[in-house]
A and B are shown apart, each in its own frame.
Chain A
Amino acid sequence: MAQHGGTAAVLEAAELLKQGAEARLYRTRFLGRPAIVKQRFPKRYRHPLLDEKLSQRRTAQEVRSILRCRRAGISAPVVYFVDHTSHCIFLEELVGSSTVRDYIGSHRDLELDRLAERVGQILARMHDEDVIHGDLTTSNMLLRRGTEDGKVDLVLIDFGLSYISALPEDKGVDLYVLEKAFLSTHPNTEALFQKLLDSYARSSNKSAAVLKKLDEVRLRGRKRSMVG
């Protein structure tokens, strides 16, 4: 693929950080700054035309959601450059950040209560903007120490499965996915997760409908019943 020359050559020399089913993450430099590249590689198991279309759409949707969040004051990585031919997104690298997952594993109750409070607020704000993250886990939330004030900033990452929806159903499922991931990654944290939900409830005036849906989703699972 000669026409992708630029990006492809850079990725060959870059450090591969992660490989998932959908994309690869590399660490590199962009215009002198540390950067992360998310590359949606071609999927051989899909028809080439469909593959191209899906990669195109998901790349576009991912950067749109990031901008929508940032506009609302929700921290997400800065987008430096999008290569729509090789389906690569160049993002700011959050140097020195750690995942909420690691934080939970290494901190005590009081600090964790504060964290749950923060996460609940941010997710409420995100849902108020009608952004559905689609893959909420404690690994997709980073904590970054502020440059000057030393305050810790919660940054949401990986909007690869995100979309825009105002439906309480979709927001409920978003929280359900987080609940499943949260409780399986961090055993015996039901009380902590409840604090997160309480904070979510207080932070959004649309939360009642969402939490009601969450209860329904818990009973039936993520997928809606198609019977009848």
Chain B
Amino acid sequence: MHFTQELELFPGKKVTQLLFKEVKNAAVLRKSAVEGKINGALINPTMLVSPFQVLVAANKAVHLQTIEKMKTRSLYSEIIFNLSPTNNISEAFKRFGISDGDDSVMVVVVHDKDESQLLSDITSKVEGRQVPVEDVSSLSDAAKIKKLYKVTPAEETCGTLLDAVICRMAIKDVL
């Protein structure tokens, strides 16, 4: 159900995503994440087009952590920040982090070798139904995403919504 991808630029580092629906304890999860008790980033799946979007954010976060140029305090907050098209940190959390009433959540974990322990930790904390990560596309709110990333109708003629989102995430620091 979960999806793991190695970061080619950082051999040994992997990113695992887990998607949950019908989540009942979003408020508790958010609180533990803020307190640093959850070893992962909690993302609002309605703002995600594809798991690839999360990978791009995670790769950039690990890169910035390696060169000590992160804009936020932890690797997991940096992943959430990297998803946002703007450089406003609190806005990034508001849009891409989870809110207390949410009923779905994408959990992102960056790890070295064996992830089974980390993953069982996560699944034990989330009160919800785990679904395949690819299902994220059925949860995404395309209209909201287009508005936030300012995707023009013209741009969609030369590529997908995912392409448009990825470009903005990759380029936002030099705009």
List A residues at the B interface (Cβ < 8 Å): 3, 5-7, 9-10, 28-33, 60, 63-64, 66-67, 70-76, 78-85, 90, 92, 153
Contacts and interface: CB of A to CB of B under 8 A. Distances in A.
Q: Which of B52, B159, B166, B174 has the most CB of A within 10 A?
A: B174
A30 B8 contact: yes
A105 to B, nearest CB: 26
Contact of B170 (A63, A76, A85): A63
Contacts of B66: 3, 5-6
B164 A70 contact: yes
User: Chain A at the B interface: mostly helix, strand, loop or mixed?
Assistant: mixed
Given A31-B8, A31-B52, A70-B167, A63 B155 contact: no
A73 B157 contact: yes
Contacts, number: 88
10 contacts: A9-B9, A28-B8, A60-B174, A63-B170, A66-B167, A71-B154, A72-B154, A74-B158, A76-B158, A81-B59
Contacts of B74: none
Contacts of A75: 158-159
A160 to B, nearest CB: 15
A215 B18 CA distance: 61
Contact of A63 (B9, B11, B157, B171): B171
Given A75-B158, A82-B171, A9 B11 contact: yes
Nearest to A147: B160
B156 to A, nearest CB: 8
Given A7-B9, A70-B158, A73-B157, A78 B63 contact: no
Contacts of A7: 9
B174 A70 contact: no
Contact of B152 (A6, A10, A29, A71): A71
Chain B contact patch, size range: 20 to 34
A12 to B, nearest CB: 12
Nearest to B162: A78
A131 to B, nearest CB: 14
B11 to A, nearest CB: 7
Contacts of A73: 152, 154-155, 157-158
A122 B17 CA distance: 40
B148 to A, nearest CB: 15
B55 interface: yes
Contacts of B173: 82, 84
Contact of A31 (B5, B67, B159): B5
A8 to B, nearest CB: 10
A114 to B, nearest CB: 19
A136 B71 CA distance: 38
Contacts of B154: 71-73
A78 B166 contact: yes
A63 B171 CA distance: 7
A157 to B, nearest CB: 13
A78 B9 contact: no
Nearest to A76: B158
Contacts of A5: 66
Contact of B174 (A6, A10, A31, A64): A64
